[in-house]
């Protein structure tokens, strides 16, 4: 029993990583997880807002249910969809929550969030959509929907700003190492996907 506690609780705490990042889901437990995502998102739409003479960002999608329960969560229908929006600043990377919202899920299990562009500053943003009670630990998983968008700047301009900021603080080798770490991190976020096997 002590060995189990040490291997599950202490070792990940000492290595500053979680069990989910370190281990694959055992074959005997894979039947507990569906290969579908909990939230499916449509393409982000930028639409004109005639009343405020600005643009809105429309993030829509649906919660996937199986036998009346949200896929992978097992939560029954009746909960809202929750939106958290973070502004992502160029290097040094800083995520700051700039807005949150909640909407009721419609009869067809769909939802839509409207974000007025004039309520946000110029930059890059990441929107996370949860079903039920949101948890930060669920971000970047198959339990949430994630959409990235830009206001007043495009992805190339953002990357250029980020690179220029990196050059102020880091040497060439450090920049290359940081870029490789980001690629590795991006790959590890997707490594839990046992459905592709």
**Backbone dihedral angles phi then psi of residue 140, each to the nearest 5 degrees:** 55, 35
Q: Which residue has the higher pLDDT, 49 or 83?
A: 83
**Please, which pLDDT band fits residue 187 given cuts at 50, 70 and 90?**
low
Q: pLDDT digits over 13-22, tens only?
A: 433 433 334 4
**90-107 as b/e: b if 16+ CB within 10 A:** bbeeeeeeebebebebee
Give the residue ranges of DSSP H helices in the chain.
2-5, 11-15, 19-22, 155-169, 172-190
According to CATH, where is 2.60.40.10 located in the chain? Answer: 34-151
For domain 34-151, the CATH class is: mainly beta
Q: pLDDT digits over 128-171, tens only?
A: 999 998 998 888 888 999 999 999 889 889 888 887 877 777 77
Give the side-chain half-sphere CA count within 13 A for 129.
30
Most confident option among 73-77, 182-186, 188-192: 73-77
Q: Which residue has the higher pLDDT, 184 or 6?
A: 184
């Amino acid at each position: 029993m002590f060995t189990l506690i040490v291997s599950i609780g202490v070792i990940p705490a000492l290595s500053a990583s979680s069990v989910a990042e370190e281990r694959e889901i055992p074959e005997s437990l894979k039947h507990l997880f569906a290969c579908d995502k909990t939230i499916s998102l449509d393409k982000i739409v930028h639409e004109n807002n005639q009343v405020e003479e600005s643009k809105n960002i429309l993030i829509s999608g649906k919660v996937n249910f199986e036998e009346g329960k949200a896929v992978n969560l097992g939560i029954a229908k009746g909960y809202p969809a929750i939106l958290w929006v973070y502004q992502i600043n160029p290097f040094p990377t800083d995520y700051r929550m700039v807005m949150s919202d909640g909407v009721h899920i419609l009869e067809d299990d769909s939802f839509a969030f409207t974000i007025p562009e004039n309520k946000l500053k110029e930059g890059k943003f990441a929107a996370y959509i949860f079903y039920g009670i949101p948890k930060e630990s669920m971000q970047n998983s198959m339990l949430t929907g994630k959409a990235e968008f830009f206001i007043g700047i495009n992805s190339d301009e953002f990357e250029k700003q980020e690179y220029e900021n990196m050059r102020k603080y880091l040497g060439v080798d450090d920049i290359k190492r940081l870029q490789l770490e980001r690629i590795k991190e991006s790959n590890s976020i997707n490594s839990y996907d046992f459905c592709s096997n």
